[in-house]
Amino acid sequence: MADLIVERRQETEDGGVVLTWTFDRPDRLNALPDLGDGEEIAALCEAANADVSVRCVVLTGAGRAFSAGGDLTAMRDRRDLFEGSGAAIRERYRRVVHRIIRSLYGLDVPLIAAVNGPAMGLGCGIAGTADMIVASDRASFGAPFLKLGIIAGDGGAWRLPRNVGYMRAAELLFTSRSIDAETARDWGLVNRVVGHDALMDEALDLAGQIAAQPPRAVRMTKSLLRQGRDATLDQILEMSAAFQALAHLTDDHQEGVNAVLEKRKGRFGGE
Span 19-58, pLDDT tens digits: 999 999 999 999 999 999 999 999 999 999 999 999 999 9
Q: Where in the chain is the domain with CATH 1.10.12?
A: 215-261
- At residue 59, the pLDDT reads 98
Question: What CA–CA distance (Å, rounded) separates 7 from 15?
Answer: 15
Residue 32: phi, psi to the nearest 5?
Answer: -140, 145
- At residue 266, the pLDDT reads 76
Does the 215-261 domain belong in CATH 1.10.12? yes
- At residue 63, the pLDDT reads 97
Please report how many Cα atoms fall inside a 13 Å half-sphere around the Cα of residue 91, on the Cβ side: 6
The CATH label, of 3.40.50.970, 3.90.226.10, 3.10.450.40, 3.20.20.70, for the domain at 4-211 is 3.90.226.10
What pLDDT digit, counting tens, does each position of 56-112 carry? 999 999 999 999 999 999 999 999 999 999 999 999 999 999 999 999 999 999 999
pLDDT confidence bin for 1, thresholds 50/70/90: low
Distance set, CA 20 to CA 6, 54, 248 (Å): 6, 11, 31
Mean pLDDT, rounded, of the chain: 94
What pLDDT digit, counting tens, does each position of 238-250 carry? 989 999 899 899 8
- At residue 13, the pLDDT reads 75
What pLDDT digit, counting tens, does each position of 192-238 carry? 999 999 999 999 999 999 999 999 999 999 999 999 999 999 999 99
Contacts of residue 6, defined as CB under 8 A and 6 or more positions apart, other chains included, come to: 19, 20, 21, 44
pLDDT confidence bin for 2, thresholds 50/70/90: low
**Contact between residue 104 and residue 127 where contact means Cβ atoms under 8 Å apart:** no
**Contact between residue 56 and residue 13 where contact means Cβ atoms under 8 Å apart:** no
- At residue 265, the pLDDT reads 84
Q: Where in the chain is the domain with CATH 3.90.226.10?
A: 4-211
